[in-house]
Structure 1
Amino acid sequence: MNLRHLAYFAVVAEELHFRRSAERLGITQAPLSLAIQALETELGARLFHRTRRTVALTEAGHALFDDARGILSRVEMAKENVWQTVSGQVGRLRVGFTNSSSLSPFFPRLIHAYRTQRPGVQITLRELSSLQQIESLDTRELDVGLLRLPPEAPASVHELVLTPLFEEALLLAVHAGHRLAKKRAVCIADLRGEPFIAYPRQAGVALFTQMLALCEKRGFTPEVVQEAQQASTLIGLTATGLGVALVPASLRAIAVPGVVFRELSDDDTTTTLYIAHRRGDANSRAQQFAELAATVQ
């Protein structure tokens, strides 16, 4: 059934006057009459009783009018749904984030701002290491990621649009009674021979590989005596005096008695948080989320 003919029929059924219906539709009466005739021929039933003075619906016309309104309403709803999806107003968005990035004040501000602007979008948050996020973006299990770039990133990272959001300093987390706690600032070379608490090597955490690279640049390999999957666990273990840890400044938010944070004087001890999404992705929600992230402070 031709939707245009059905729409013409619905207008005539409402107006019960061909001239007014044609004016409302912005056409002349001739094509309107032809459209109604074509619809009647297709259905094998008369839809209107027409005289010189009056137009009235037949029984078949009444039956079609009830269905036509529902059909045309659903067509408009379908158009609206497509528009909302294309414009990023509805749908789903799968966002990856690292454990440490969730502790930055930036993270809750971004998520709250997006949910406020796009209440119709179902947002799913997944805590993953930076390397896991890169892999999940490649396999389309994520739409967008908040991550740090490992020094040796996989080749698939070149298929991503990476936008730097902010840079933060790395700090030394150390027991309050440690010799380095007495210094205002520490350099990486001061950590030679110190036991380290760190994220697991195999977890794909960019901060681990950065720590390794920083130490090796100074001619030593850090001795990791204890691993921790979570940032809070890492800080908590530092309080035991088992070792020292290099952490982003946002982890200062984890206040644990007995742990102090010291600045690093080296000029290469910063870490950058990026927002990443697939290059050329048709998902407008990912692009909008990335654009919003660049404006949130």
Structure 2
Amino acid sequence: MFDFRQLRYFIAVAEELSFTRAAQRLHLSQPPLSQQIQALEQDLGTRLLERDKRNVALTAPGKLFLEQARQILAMAEDARTRVAEAAAGFSGQLRLAYTVSVSFHPALPQILLRSGQHAPNVQVLLSEMYTEPQFSALRAGQIDVGFVRDMPAHEDDARCLRLDVIDREPLLLALPAGHRLAGRDHVELGEAAGEPFVVQPRELAATLYDRLVRLAASAGFHPVIRQQAQQLNGLIALVAAGIGLALVPASMQVVKLAGVSYVPLADPDAHLLLAVASRAENPSPVVLQFLQTVFEAKAALGL
């Protein structure tokens, strides 16, 4: 069976229509070139070239084989490129999950934009998922990376997963615009003791719910929960309606709803983690390439 070297030799002779010029182009002597062309013709069982002492011409089968030889080499080169891209993480598929609050943080769009520019042949499949379910999905191999808001609570998750911190995002108190604490440079959460709060259900968003309870406990009170909403933007609407106060990440300030004021919290632990989680062992080249993009985006954002 002929090989790629014989195909390259044949193409050179067919294009030059001269064994001498083809040999010079290929940087080898003429006898081995002639031997390889003869071996190719014997393998195919037909003459590809008509030659005499002065002229070389393609036969009809030779013209057909020239076209096929070029296609074979082009396909082989394409296969080589695709394999190299896959090995370097520049092609393939990436299943990415993120919590809803992360969609408001500038890191997510910047990372996705850079990833699309650096690895346009990687298909990114996005899904919204709360933090705890992301840890389970990572361990089960259902997603490849996740943008999470807390460290793993379970030892098995902590042992099996890798977390790269992107940001420790400040937490704000969302208040009705006419509230007595609105417009301040900062407040301590203890100043809101006795005020009603609106929260996401703990079974859906345990991270932010538990952070509110812990911060309130540090300030000496237990928050009064008046109403719940499944999404963060729903909490902002409840705040605007005067139903209660809400603890939200700083990136939620992009939600400009009339009647809502955002005030930074002075409490030292008033922040929310933002990290990218992946499996600790045997990460794919696509995941490693994506994590490199995360580090670059983080540096560009000054985080």
Matched ranges for 1:141-290 at <5 A: 141-150=142-151, 152-153=153-154, 155-181=156-182, 185-217=186-218, 221-279=222-280, 280-284=282-286, 285-290=289-294
Is the contact between residue 277 and residue 286 of structure 1 (CA under 8 Å) also seen in structure 2?
Answer: no
Alignment correspondent of 1:36: 37
AA in 2 matched with 1:292: E
Query: What is the distance in 1 between the residues matched to 2:197 and 2:219?
Result: 16
CA displacement at 1:232 relative to structure 2? 0.9
Please state whether the residue corresponding to 1:274 is helix, strand or coil: strand
Alignment deviations for residues 106-147 of structure 1 (CA, whole Å, 9 cap, x no partner): 433333343344444433332222223333333333333222
AA in 1 matched with 2:261: V
Q: How many residue pairs end up in the alignment?
A: 297
Query: What is the distance in 2 between the residues matched to 1:132 and 1:296?
Result: 30
CA displacement at 1:157 relative to structure 2? 4.2
Alignment deviations for residues 37-60 of structure 1 (CA, whole Å, 9 cap, x no partner): 332232222222232333322333
CA displacement at 1:178 relative to structure 2? 4.2
Indicate the larger mover: 193-202 or 153-162.
153-162
Please state whether the residue corresponding to 2:203 is helix, strand or coil: helix
Alignment deviations for residues 57-103 of structure 1 (CA, whole Å, 9 cap, x no partner): 23332221121111112212222223333344444433322222222
Query: What is the distance in 1 between the residues matched to 2:156 and 2:216?
Result: 25
Is the contact between residue 197 and residue 227 of structure 1 (CA under 8 Å) also seen in structure 2?
Answer: yes
Q: TM-score w.r.t. structure 2 length?
A: 0.83
1:291 aligned to which of 286, 289, 295: 295
Please state whether the residue corresponding to 1:257 is helix, strand or coil: coil
Indicate the larger mover: 253-262 or 219-228.
219-228
- Structure 2 gaps of 5+ residues are none
Alignment deviations for residues 155-192 of structure 1 (CA, whole Å, 9 cap, x no partner): 33443332222222111222344454486543334444
Indicate the larger mover: 64-73 or 278-287.
278-287
Query: What is the distance in 1 between the residues matched to 2:249 and 2:153?
Result: 19
AA in 2 matched with 1:255: K
Please state whether the residue corresponding to 1:266 is helix, strand or coil: coil
Is the contact between residue 49 and residue 58 of structure 1 (CA under 8 Å) also seen in structure 2?
Answer: yes
Is the contact between residue 96 and residue 145 of structure 2 (CA under 8 Å) also seen in structure 1?
Answer: yes
Alignment correspondent of 1:4: 5
CA displacement at 1:237 relative to structure 2? 0.9
Query: What is the distance in 1 between the residues matched to 2:71 and 2:183?
Result: 76
Please state whether the residue corresponding to 2:53 is helix, strand or coil: coil
Is the contact between residue 185 and residue 264 of structure 2 (CA under 8 Å) also seen in structure 1?
Answer: yes
Please state whether the residue corresponding to 1:265 is helix, strand or coil: coil
Query: What is the distance in 2 between the residues matched to 1:216 and 1:63?
Result: 82
Query: What is the distance in 1 between the residues matched to 2:25 and 2:188?
Result: 78
Q: How has the CA–CA distance of structure 1 residues 182 and 106 changed in structure 2, closer, same or farther, with 3 Å as cutoff?
A: closer
Please state whether the residue corresponding to 2:125 is helix, strand or coil: strand
AA in 1 matched with 2:300: V
How high is the sequence identity, in percent, across the aligned residues?
A: 38
Alignment correspondent of 2:124: 123
Q: How has the CA–CA distance of structure 1 residues 236 and 104 changed in structure 2, closer, same or farther, with 3 Å as cutoff?
A: same
AA in 2 matched with 1:170: L
CA displacement at 1:193 relative to structure 2? 4.2
Question: How large is the RMSD of aligned CA atoms in angstroms?
Answer: 2.8
Query: What is the distance in 2 between the residues matched to 1:291 and 1:181?
Result: 36
Alignment correspondent of 1:51: 52
Query: What is the distance in 1 between the residues matched to 2:159 and 2:193?
Result: 35
Query: What is the distance in 1 between the residues matched to 2:155 and 2:297?
Result: 24
Indicate the larger mover: 274-283 or 174-183.
174-183
